[in-house]
Structure 1
């Protein structure tokens, strides 16, 4: 006897009731009423011509025939559930975009904009890698990267995302900040540095401050750590405009006197020149390049 499609809901209700040995618990799992589960089971029993449960005052228990069907139904539904999960995972993986970028840029620029991404492309899933070492774009590796550099990397296509400027910042509560009225005054503050290619020496030269001794008290490998140190009052940091924006907006940092130095390097979206971007990655790149820098 072939299993009719209209018996599948009844089979699912029976399998749940068999696992729980309780119609009420099965109803809660399936978002049905206990009477609806009982109706499905009776329909299945009528169709098969056998009793699947023994009803008694304390509840129900499986008959021998019920146990046989429960084993087969549980195995079949588990197989179907496994396939459904795999198909869903495959769909999600198809929409996943793997990105390698700087921790500082992810933390202060990309993550605050992810709500806009979710509104524009709710299916896209991101995987962010912010390890310091540059990631190889091998098969199975990232789809694209956001790099800070000159804009030319062998074997990579590069699109300009945004330029960058450098200027000094400090905590608004830093002692004696009211006496810092010129770029030369900043040289007397404790200076905080990161590992960027341009630093305090470049900025003081652009500010036309010469003959001062530049002493960097603290140095950090990551720009956000340097900005945090400045926000906690440990000295003045040379901030990148894009990275410092959330700190300035929140009032944790204030800009100090002096010019904004145009950075030699900019931010670029990069990906292998020999490999066509997957559709989800292409949509993400288009969304990135349409974002206002500010």
Structure 2
């Protein structure tokens, strides 16, 4: 059965004219004549049996139907363009993986390891985009994503397949200078960790994460303590911002240890207590449940291998 789809050339002319609100600019962008643009759009309007543009003294304006159609088709044209470029660049031997990632995980854990993926699978090209909001797979923006969330969020997220990656182990950290200031006689139990009591930590100013306002209260309650002001302190949205603030003596922060390995190795941050908090959020690799491409499958296998290596190094 023949698909009821208009010509690609007509869609491209419409998209360009709608973007510029000008047949003239569309013709210049597409390197064709203005009459050719007009003819393609007329054929598209005939196919749809609806007007997409209204002519004005200053050019053209989109009708309501035109606005809706422009908004609907543009992601698909972009997706088609990217898929075509992918086939051309990889000659069918590999693929591009459009991966959405939560910001700090991308910069602190994934990016430093992508060269290992390239060594194992040079045929795969990864394009990263960050977001703190749930990722969508029905508009061709992402092929897969790494998301930090709760099991409840995953259970109520329609149309996805989720691969559990790891729990979130959160540790209290601050700069070595703050330890020297408040506890000059404190002794480290290993190369980057002190084991101060929850009572000791009441003396150090707190740093807060905007999206987790009760995290310090959770940490102290987990260790049978009440902090008199658990919500006080500077607020920052991302773990990476908290790490910078903590390393510059601004206070004590709760951050997943895997995201601050560099600061711990450089002695810019130290763990102030061996008492960890198991976060309610977990890390998942997610993608559309409709299918899983060979490229995504290779990425899933690779990231599981990296996590096994992480467990080995930690133990």
Q: Distance in 2 between matches of 1:202 and 1:230?
A: 19
Are residue 155 (structure 1) and residue 159 (structure 2) matched? Answer: yes
For residues 269 and 92 of structure 1, do their structure 2 counterparts lie closer, same or farther at Cα, with a shift above 3 Å needed? Answer: same
Q: Distance in 1 between matches of 2:115 and 2:182?
A: 36
Residue in 2 that maps onto 1:260: 276
Between the two proteins, the alignment pairs up a number of residues equal to 209
Residue in 2 that maps onto 1:102: 102
- Contact kept, 8 Å, 2:96 with 2:127, in 1: the verdict is yes
- Contact kept, 8 Å, 1:227 with 1:239, in 2: the verdict is yes
The SS at the match of 2:233 is: strand
* Alignment match of 1:172 (pick from 143, 168, 176): 176
After TM superposition, give the deviation of residue 93 of structure 1 in Å. Answer: 10
Q: Distance in 2 between matches of 1:135 and 1:92?
A: 27
Any idea what the Cα deviations from partners look like across 1:134-184, whole Å, max 9, x if unmatched? Answer: 331124221111111123232211111111111200011225142573222
Any idea what the Cα deviations from partners look like across 1:165-213, whole Å, max 9, x if unmatched? Answer: 1120001122514257322222221211113446100001112212532
Which ranges of structure 2 fall in alignment gaps of 5 or more residues? 1-84, 187-195
For residues 137 and 260 of structure 1, do their structure 2 counterparts lie closer, same or farther at Cα, with a shift above 3 Å needed? Answer: same
Residue in 2 that maps onto 1:281: 296
Residue in 2 that maps onto 1:222: 238
After TM superposition, give the deviation of residue 94 of structure 1 in Å. Answer: 5.2
For residues 131 and 93 of structure 1, do their structure 2 counterparts lie closer, same or farther at Cα, with a shift above 3 Å needed? Answer: farther
Structure-2-length-normalised TM-score: 0.61
For residues 207 and 138 of structure 1, do their structure 2 counterparts lie closer, same or farther at Cα, with a shift above 3 Å needed? Answer: same
Any idea what the Cα deviations from partners look like across 1:219-263, whole Å, max 9, x if unmatched? Answer: 111111011110111110111122122221222110002511111
Q: Which has the larger radius of gyration?
A: 1
Structure-1-length-normalised TM-score: 0.65
* Farther-moved stretch of structure 1 (90-99 vs 195-204): 90-99
- Contact kept, 8 Å, 2:86 with 2:96, in 1: the verdict is no
Q: Distance in 2 between matches of 1:137 and 1:211?
A: 42
* Alignment match of 1:250 (pick from 235, 241, 266): 266
Residue in 1 that maps onto 2:208: 193
After TM superposition, give the deviation of residue 88 of structure 1 in Å. Answer: 4.0
Residue in 1 that maps onto 2:144: 144
